[in-house]
Structure 1
């Protein structure tokens, strides 16, 4: 017996929270995530490559575009995971990764996503979950530029990479403990 797929429940969201390797690795483990694709969004250039984006010349952020099944995981749950994976109080950086390409931004694909993103940011701010103010931007989604092939599933394919060992691996370990009930 094959499982019925309801494509009407498939949605898309695009998130920027520092290095896309961390965000993509975590979401690839989550039930209801159909795909997590690393790429670039939010810049002024008509093209975006890793070299250009890292140089800070295009204004793009490193992002992960998620396809998800809203009958399995809600947009709210995705944003709750997102805010646990990075520090939304750091402007144009995440830890030692510095530059606007590492900013915290939620690119919304419809009015409902925008409304919920702003609501969650207000809730987090009101609850004072962080010592500093939230700087996460909420913007309408624009052109998504898929990242180079070698960036897709980077952590899975390069677990011995020094950056992966020092940054991605500890974040994933913490994430897996916190969200064990949501894992595939």
Structure 2
């Protein structure tokens, strides 16, 4: 099967991507609007960029109904700060409930029952239940259209990292204790460590 993406409706192109690029880590992003109201939403277009400087990125797509920006993107462009909360099995249901498109004045922390944790380097709170939080300032944002199906690339500079003590040893994070969750296609998620294996890289 050979497919030219530009010939597809954007919804089908989206399904082609998320069915091929997997599993995907989840950026559970907390931010504040200009009045200090908290927002919390998951994004599975998320990865690392570099260690020096420590940069990460995630991509919030435009809303499928009208192409408008999601609250997370609007908040970050306004305040220049956000927190990436790494998702673990223990609160995956609450994370999923934050994917609902609530009205802008709704505080998702309160709506789903997650706990705000004061950040050190930025104003937006982290998620207390998250075992790793990356406190970020906005480094750059790139926009790729303003129609439904378009998206933006948010690049954040990690200013501060908070890791639960039980996870951190010898400069590394214990993945087994983190119990991360990844996104697959449709409504499916995965526990990537449940069937992991090791391969030694040849020198």
Q: Structure 2 length as normaliser, TM-score?
A: 0.25
Structure with higher Rg: it is: 2
Q: Structure 1 length as normaliser, TM-score?
A: 0.26
Higher relative contact order (CA 8 A, sep 6+): 1
Q: Which has the higher strand share?
A: 2
Q: Which has the higher helix share?
A: 1
